[in-house]
Amino acid sequence: MVIAGLETSLVTLEWTMAELINHPQVMSKAQDEIDSVVGRARAVQESDLPNLPYIEAIVKESLRLHPAVPLGAPHMNPKPVKLGGYTIPGGCKVLVNIWAIGRDPARWSDPEAFQPERFLGSSISPNGQNFDFLPFSSGRRVCVGYPLAMRSIPFFVASLLQAFDWSPANPSGIDMEECTRSTTMKLNADLLVNASIRVDQNII
């Protein structure tokens, strides 16, 4: 469980930073929010997160586009059920395509675009209760690390954005090609970036 939680959190953080570096205007807006709430004289703390809604929206948008486990945890239906015109026999192993749900044009406007603003002022939560957004799956097989992930990942993102300005090492930007080597979906290429300090080094 520890290894699974570490890998999925790291993968999500990497996707989030890759999207931010490819969208500098979003990064700048997030840094402005951090500067206005926290400033640059002290480090971001976990208690600041409720006052950083744009950071939360960024993480949610990254989870929508890049769920760490794109097919979720296997589920099983105990008895036959009809779904979408198909009959699924009882006892089947069912995999839900979380990646496709997050990019469904019937559910999301401009689904391929990275637009954190779509989550601002929205009650949509990744807790498994909204079937348009299931990065942690749902039901009894919902990811047990969901509460930890939704605290730690926004905290890491806010800390990285407060401390550094980020840019791609390659002038053409970050290659967002996906690769699935195990159960997690990762960047196909290494994430190579430039970072420059934007706060007093004493708080890093």
The residue extents of the domains of the chain are 11-203
Which pLDDT score is estimated for 62? 97
pTM for the model: 0.90
Pairwise CA distance, residues 103 & 98, whole Å: 9
Band (99; pLDDT cuts 50, 70, 90): very high
How much of the chain exceeds pLDDT 70, in percent?
A: 97
Which pLDDT score is estimated for 203? 80
Map tokens 């939560």 to a residue: 125
3-state helix, strand, coil in the chain (%, to 5): 45, 15, 45
Please give the CATH architecture assigned to the domain spanning 11-203.
Orthogonal Bundle (1.10)
Higher pLDDT, 182 or 12: 12
What DSSP line would sit under 39-67, residue for residue? Answer: -SSS---GGGGGG-HHHHHHHHHHHHH--
